[in-house]
Amino acid sequence: MTEPPPRVLLADDQTLVRTGFRMILSADGIDVVAEATNGTEAVEAVRRTRPDVVLMDIRMPEMDGLEATRRILTGAHAHAHGPGTPRVIILTTFDLDRYVYAALSAGASGFLLKDVTPEQLTAAVRTVRTGDALLAPAITRRLVQRFTQRGGDTAALHRDLASLTPRELEVLGLLARGLSNAELATRLHLAETTVKTHVARILAKLGLRDRVQAVIAAYETGLVSAGAHEAAQQPTEQP
């Protein structure tokens, strides 16, 4: 039995942007169930249509995308747990650090710039629909720079990380540096299914919703420190 296509809500105040996204998604078999021109409309449309994924602009009138994301996810968690929660991808022309971090902290499952290709856009929708999360490589690099530049104030590990095994800490550290499951499997010489199991256990132990929250936790707790991103690019010796 084939899985039904993702149901998507488009929230952007520019008609041409929404039209372009709708054409791209529809051409790839993705169902656009509603459109919104501001955050207020987006929140209401989510309640009405229950989409799987929301493509959310940041800068919109009446209510911006960050506040709309917070309200959508809070409302979703209040009425449905787990499977009923929509995933939010922030799409914007602005890649300023404060937007990135605010969006992820608000609960977004992904952050992409509007210059992504049609293939990247549809892949992003399908990725977050399955419960995974994504960040554009450029965004991941900016997050790494933001947190590693904080230096000493992230030196101490949060006590919650004590529940993780050494291998889980290693997986979390590499995940936080932007490696996909396939790249993690190659780096650690593990099967991709084993990597997925490790990631699932990390999320469960730390009470995190998805990989984006895991990235934030890794940086905020100091698990990833200055220079670690560059080190992640070097081959590992550990099997």
Q: In what order do the strands lie in the sheet with 31-36?
A: 31-36, 7-11, 53-56, 87-92, 110-113, 134-135
Tell me what pLDDT residue 226 has. 41
**CATH code at 7-135:** 3.40.50.2300
Phi and psi torsions of 55, nearest 5°: -95, 110
Q: What average pLDDT values come out for the chain (239 residues) when binned by 10 residues?
A: 88 95 96 97 95 94 92 64 75 74 78 86 88 65 60 47 92 84 90 92 86 78 59 38
CATH topology of domain 151-232: Arc Repressor Mutant, subunit A (1.10.10)
Tell me what pLDDT residue 182 has. 83
Write the DSSP assignment of 59-81 as a string of letters.
S-SSS-HHHHHHHHHHHHHHH--
Strand partners, 34: 9
Tell me what pLDDT residue 83 has. 54
Phi and psi torsions of 53, nearest 5°: -135, 140
Tell me what pLDDT residue 233 has. 40
For the chain, give every residue range classified as CATH 1.10.10.10: 151-232
Q: How far is CA 208 from CA 41, 99, 189, in A?
A: 28, 21, 25
Tell me what pLDDT residue 13 has. 95
For the chain, give every residue range classified as CATH 3.40.50.2300: 7-135
Tell me what pLDDT residue 228 has. 46
Residue 22 has a CB neighbour count (10 Å cut-off) of: 16
Tell me what pLDDT residue 101 has. 74
Tell me what pLDDT residue 134 has. 67
